Chain A
Amino acid sequence: DVKVTQSSRYLVKRTGEKVFLECVQDMDHENMFWYRQDPGLGLRLIYFSYDVKMKEKGDIPEGYSVSREKKERFSLILESASTNQTSMYLCASSLWRTAIYEQYFGPGTRLTVT
Chain B
Amino acid sequence: GENVEQHPSTLSVQEGDSAVIKCTYSDSASNYFPWYKQELGKRPQLIIDIRSNVGEKKDQRIAVTLNKTAKHFSLHITETQPEDSAVYFCAATNSGYSTLTFGKGTMLLVSP
Which A residues fall within an 8 A CB radius of B? 31, 33, 40-45, 48, 50, 56, 58-59, 90, 94, 96-103, 105-108
Contact = CB atoms under 8 A, between A and B. Distances in A.
A74 B45 CA distance: 20
A56 B93 CA distance: 16
The size class of the interface chain B forms with chain A is 20 to 34
B98 A59 contact: no
15 contacts: A40-B9, A40-B104, A42-B6, A43-B44, A44-B102, A50-B98, A58-B99, A90-B43, A94-B98, A98-B98, A100-B32, A100-B98, A101-B98, A103-B100, A105-B44
A97 B94 CA distance: 12
A98 B102 CA distance: 19
Contacts of A42: 6, 89, 102-105
B29 interface: no
Interface in B96-112: 97-105
